[in-house]
Structure 1
């Protein structure tokens, strides 16, 4: 009964001396490390949460010297996997910090979710009872949510991400996490999308071209010998049915080469009103898609670089228009600059520079309006508009034709880190330091949806290709998929050991990839919320991720000044060609070397 009372009334049990925390944690660590290897890898999971709360308890109760001793002696055990958080903990040295520091508040308000096998949990309880370590027993009961799984304990496979999803801090209970990931996600292609129309046009053109070739070949099959020998020696002509089947196969292959697995993906309706494209816009987009060259590990993209000179470290974000004719940059001096890749514009600038005594022409359009650094820029799908968001908590819509600001969207209370357009235009999403992402429409100055649930900054955001979902990545080490229609979370993806810095979804719609500050890229199957691959090659944060149009190649850009190209042939998990089969990171971005673990 004494044990039960101590567990239940742990928050009020303030009589524990500071040395009990140090001795209790020391004994727990020594016991875990002396356990059998079969259970050690699982039992080690509780050490970091217990370490965190022992330290915060000591600071909160004014035992600063003991807290400093605990941190000094044991921080090295956790710096490899939780280096950023341990460094932040070192700055929490006063009781007031525990109440006001964002990290401390997050730890205190939410439980760590820890996954253990049933027998490992029984071993832990037995040790805590036998050693009379009631303080830690109460702490575990109050601060940890333990989920017991049947079967043998998990064994360390040597991968850098082993056990990362076994200790999470998401603000949701373990049961709630499982419930979220059991929801149905309609990840398929949007019915009537421009990509599908382009694939149909390519299919029809390939069928007609192949049929004409086969018909000409059949017409050329003649025999000049005697009639009685024609049946035995003459060339046999194909029937119209055979020509039709051969032509259909050629059309299917041409369409598959253009859009890849998008052609085989289930077709879904839009859950929100879609803007109607003008006929000329639709034809232009179809023509642009049809000019696309299929990429693969055997046929990587050619290198094309834009170099922005003399930025002096002030360039925060870059966006390139769909047609490649414009490049926009968001700068720390609150300006947005847009360069044109048009040959005529470049010639005007060059000619102006040749005139003696002439004032040099400005090679870019300067958009002013923000009052603080600009952290995110994005071109609309038609290239006619540009979005920008920054530290002044606002998002601005710019006209590329008029070169002026059309509208200012306010609603975030803190800096805006990222902005992204919907694949169909009209709608856009923002990510902010206020721990929310928001959905907007260009014709309204207030948000349509507020996606709240992350525990820290929402650092990156992207739309699903069918525009029914928005994906976010956060400093709380999680990625989430949100339903646009309801605003509810449809997927909660855990496993990263550092803040998420980039996120992307394949054009086929089933694969989500997320990059973090440690250089790891994780691949997720949105159909079931499970991770199916880990890509590790970058030596620093992954700043950007983007798929090729047919989902076969993933490009990643990192702080290590390298570009990686990853073979994602097929772009579908569960198929032989679906999982990432390799890749690399290097200055040239060659799709060779490196590797992927699944």
Structure 2
């Protein structure tokens, strides 16, 4: 095994510079799989010697390699999440056709069957033919032909449509007319929902449609109203915040590991009665199973600062990621932890719920993106393409794709079904901090530490517009519903509005706070912007 690696390494390093960069990327996955094969054969001493001898060849992978060097038995291969992901997901590489042909010829001529076996079993190499254009160097067209996308979306599920159309309550109502239009659009696009919604999800979808029917139509001459919530007395301890999709709840995460849930409506928060009280209730009667919980409820469970929180679309659940390396799923009916998810080895920077409330994703400082399911505490997909910390995750509206932003300045798009990268978006010059997708499913908007906001066409992965104006890190971005206005917020204490139909890329409106960096700004269903931040006075 080691001899095969030495031969391959020597040949790659002696190759012409024209091909060397393509071929060098092959050495890292081959090196790791040889090490894991030695551990799997219980040759622990040989494995450790091989690992220690050649790890100096990969100085940019030192942090990742620390997760591998603690393997001391075959059993460890089945317990380390990073190893499991590395062995079950194919490592993807792109290289020029001529470099690939030279590689295969070399392996066959030198009878390096073992290396060929690793490549066939654990790697997927895409050979590009023809000259590389500037765009291909940037990774823009690398996947467009190979992975056609299905970006069709539907606002609500089939079950929600049927519930409205079969109800006497909505007969001859404008909501019925709206749903009939949506149904025709869905049938023409042949959209089918694979995951059946729960009754509570159907109810929240009906409420969503009611609000959408009352939405304000926006343009550069008719800008949205903005409602700003300032959190006082945080003493710089507020680390993240999130507003629920229907703009009725606010969650704030803090440096001391707490999460506070606030009601943004006049109604108090409600929680399920305890078991002893529920046992006294007549099931067939109309007794209220809920009890008032006040205007603020504190969630306690994490043991480190909270870095990201997200509501489910039905407002029944909340997920949170923390410096303690765990993700927690909270019930907003009980205000308690339902499940703790453990797989990351470093702080969890980002979490996001899929619109179907079934999947959610997390990204961490260990460069891993993990897709989870609310029905299980084991990872469903493990994605290892990022070269640095995964700082933001965002699901596509049809829940079939996941976008990830990283400290390596790139945005990547993955298929949930295959865990393969299907698009790469290159244009920012610093860490990606926020992402949002349009409700039609065709556009992506991103913000970064480079102070820029970029609008992308998802299918072609090309930049449509680049908006410059913020004076500090962009914290959040959001699309309006079926209008051209995009909002962004920043550490420069401002919310800015952009018109994606305006080719000049000028800022349409800017709104400053006195001394409040806006952590989160997002459009509600009625196209009213809600934003929140801590007062830093």
Specify the TM-score bucket, using the shorter chain as the normaliser.
Answer: 0.5 to 0.7
Seen in structure 2, the aligned counterparts of structure 1 residues 270 and 538 have a Cα distance that, compared at 3 Å, is farther
1:522 equivalenced with 2:454 (yes/no): yes
Measured against aligned partners, the alpha-carbon deviations of 1:533-579 in whole angstroms (never above 9, x if no partner) come to 2111112221111111224211111121211111125xxxxxxx7x6
1:421-570 equivalence runs, <5 A: 421-569=353-501
Q: Which is richer in strand?
A: 2
- In 2: Cα distance, 1:328 partner to 1:497 partner: 30
Measured against aligned partners, the alpha-carbon deviations of 1:452-479 in whole angstroms (never above 9, x if no partner) come to 2111111101111111111111111111
| 2:121 counterpart residue number | none
Alpha carbons 1:521, 1:534 under 8 Å: kept: yes
How far residue 451 of structure 1 moved from its aligned partner, in angstroms, is 2.2
- In 2: Cα distance, 1:255 partner to 1:558 partner: 40
Measured against aligned partners, the alpha-carbon deviations of 1:167-221 in whole angstroms (never above 9, x if no partner) come to 65xxxxx6x96145642111112386489959x98xxx999799xxxxxxxxxxx
Seen in structure 2, the aligned counterparts of structure 1 residues 414 and 270 have a Cα distance that, compared at 3 Å, is farther
Measured against aligned partners, the alpha-carbon deviations of 1:259-293 in whole angstroms (never above 9, x if no partner) come to 9xx96997353575343445544433322322322
After the TM superposition, which of the residue ranges 336-345 and 425-434 deviates more from structure 2? 336-345
Match of 1:456, SS state, is coil
Measured against aligned partners, the alpha-carbon deviations of 1:17-39 in whole angstroms (never above 9, x if no partner) come to xxxxxxxxxxxxxxxxxxxxxxx
Match of 1:522, SS state, is strand
How far residue 364 of structure 1 moved from its aligned partner, in angstroms, is 2.1
Match of 2:233, SS state, is coil
| 1:307 counterpart residue number | 230
After the TM superposition, which of the residue ranges 264-273 and 400-409 deviates more from structure 2? 264-273
TM-score by length of 1: 0.55
Structure 2: tracts of 5 or more residues without a match = 1-9, 22-54, 66-91, 97-127, 270-292, 514-537
| 1:325 counterpart residue number | 248
Seen in structure 2, the aligned counterparts of structure 1 residues 266 and 558 have a Cα distance that, compared at 3 Å, is farther
- In 2: Cα distance, 1:581 partner to 1:411 partner: 42
How far residue 414 of structure 1 moved from its aligned partner, in angstroms, is 1.6
Alpha carbons 2:467, 2:505 under 8 Å: kept: no
TM-score by length of 2: 0.61
Match of 1:540, SS state, is coil
| 2:114 counterpart residue number | none
| 2:152 counterpart residue number | 188
Measured against aligned partners, the alpha-carbon deviations of 1:316-359 in whole angstroms (never above 9, x if no partner) come to 1111122322110111111111111232549xxxxxxxxxxxxx
How far residue 447 of structure 1 moved from its aligned partner, in angstroms, is 1.6
- In 2: Cα distance, 1:195 partner to 1:319 partner: 28
Seen in structure 2, the aligned counterparts of structure 1 residues 195 and 443 have a Cα distance that, compared at 3 Å, is closer
Match of 1:343, SS state, is coil
Seen in structure 2, the aligned counterparts of structure 1 residues 389 and 433 have a Cα distance that, compared at 3 Å, is same
- In 2: Cα distance, 1:301 partner to 1:462 partner: 24
Alpha carbons 2:348, 2:362 under 8 Å: kept: yes
1:316 equivalenced with 2:239 (yes/no): yes
| CA RMSD in angstroms, aligned pairs only | 4.4
Measured against aligned partners, the alpha-carbon deviations of 1:125-158 in whole angstroms (never above 9, x if no partner) come to xxxxxxxxxxxxxxxxxxxx999557xxxxxxxx
| 2:195 counterpart residue number | 273
| 2:510 counterpart residue number | 586
How far residue 408 of structure 1 moved from its aligned partner, in angstroms, is 0.9
| 1:295 counterpart residue number | 218
Number of residue pairs matched? 384
Measured against aligned partners, the alpha-carbon deviations of 1:56-101 in whole angstroms (never above 9, x if no partner) come to xxxxxxxxxxxxxxxxxxxxxxxxxxxxxxxxxxxxxxxx999656
Measured against aligned partners, the alpha-carbon deviations of 1:486-541 in whole angstroms (never above 9, x if no partner) come to 11111111122112111111001001112221111222111222222211111222
| 1:77 counterpart residue number | none
Alpha carbons 1:537, 1:584 under 8 Å: kept: no
Seen in structure 2, the aligned counterparts of structure 1 residues 405 and 184 have a Cα distance that, compared at 3 Å, is same
Seen in structure 2, the aligned counterparts of structure 1 residues 294 and 542 have a Cα distance that, compared at 3 Å, is same
Alpha carbons 2:386, 2:406 under 8 Å: kept: yes
Question: Structure 1 residue aligned with 2:307, among 372, 375, 390?
Answer: 375
Match of 1:459, SS state, is strand
| 2:84 counterpart residue number | none
Seen in structure 2, the aligned counterparts of structure 1 residues 103 and 517 have a Cα distance that, compared at 3 Å, is farther
Alpha carbons 1:477, 1:499 under 8 Å: kept: yes
Seen in structure 2, the aligned counterparts of structure 1 residues 10 and 289 have a Cα distance that, compared at 3 Å, is closer
- In 1: Cα distance, 2:471 partner to 2:94 partner: 28
- In 2: Cα distance, 1:312 partner to 1:455 partner: 34
Match of 1:283, SS state, is helix
Seen in structure 2, the aligned counterparts of structure 1 residues 393 and 473 have a Cα distance that, compared at 3 Å, is same
